[in-house]
Amino acid sequence: MASHRRPKQPSRARVTVLTTAAAAAVAFSSQAANAAPSEKPSKDEVKAKVDKLYEEAEQATEKYNGAKEKQEKLQKEISTIQDNVARGQEELNELRDSLGLAAASQYRTGSIDPSVQLFLSANPEDYLDKASTLDQLSSQQVEALKKVQEKQRELAQERAEASEKLKDLASTRTELGKKKKEVQGKLSSAQKLLNSLTAAQKAELTAEQNRASRTAERDALTADVPPGSGRAAAAFAFAQSQLGKPYVYGATGMSSYDCSGLTSRAYAAAGVQIPRTSEAQTGAGTKIYSVSQLKVGDLVFFFNDLHHVGLYAGNGQIIHAPRTGTVVRYESMNTIGGPFMFGVRV
């Protein structure tokens, strides 16, 4: 006889759990469907973030420039030392050869010159002292041997100096690589933000920058401001001739510039060598703390860490290489993004 069992009913607890889960799933699905899409940042918000990234990139750029300048200086110093060592080794060889010839001559006559014993000695300096005391060497030979020892000490010192500078160079190259990577990272982040803008928003930003630059140029050219010295005037004239050339970090011209690259090249064109980095350029002349006392061609520095520099153009305007994505242009000191610290009259 067949068995007829009623199917087992789910427990009340299980039904409650499943019902609750299903209700939650439906509610979540409904919320997701009705949720408003996250709003994209406005043009001004993007610009503020990009400007901040560009400022950080410029800070890193000036440190990169400093490391690069140090690297070039160390390479020159090492090359000079290596040349000195090579010449010193030649002189040492000549001194040794002259002593060797004298020793060979005495050997042929049956006597062993003390200089031969010196070369065979485990401690030449100690032997020289003893030999001099015992009057075993002629005064001429003593003088020749002293020159050999002096030259040996000079070479040892120069080789040690070269070794230390090579270590410093390796450390500087590592720092240079880190700063370059840091700059590139900031610029990449800024570019991603700019790419999030529409074509119309990008066009608006460009138009705003162009209008500001034209206004700054007009204000500068109509200003009644005394020019600086002949050298400052020449530097400023050079900067004017570079208007429109793009900003590129680490660049010193002639096709592109960063901020201190422009100012250093401008003064070089005027026959004055000033340091490469903005911070170092602050020591290139007399500091001027009042804008009203500035003259055309004076260097002007911004931000607390002095990472930005330009050339004063008059009436509160400057010519400078602002940042990546811009060109050498006129700009109001009020729109730089950081406080004016002081000017320097070269």
Active site residues: 259, 308, 320
Question: CA nearest 149: which of 118, 108, 191?
Answer: 118
Q: Could you give the C-alpha distances from 341 to 59, 197, 284, 295, 338, in angstroms and in order?
A: 16, 34, 15, 16, 9
- CA 70 – CA 83 distance, rounded (Å): 20
Residue type, 332: S
User: Between 139-195 and 43-108, two packed helices, what is the crossing angle to 10 degrees?
Assistant: 160
Q: Which two tokens stand for residue 271?
A: 């026959």
Return the SS3 of 303: coil
CB 267 within 8 A of CB 257: no
- Across the strands, what pairs with 309? 301
- Which residue in 275, 271, 346, 276 sits closest to 311, CA to CA? 346
Q: Name the amino acid, one letter, at 123.
A: N
For residues 294 and 296, give the distance between their C-alpha atoms in angstroms, rounded to a whole number.
Answer: 7
- What's the rounded Cα separation, in Å, for the pair 319 and 331? 6
User: Considering only CA atoms, which of 287, 326, 294, 306 is closest in space to residue 220?
Assistant: 294
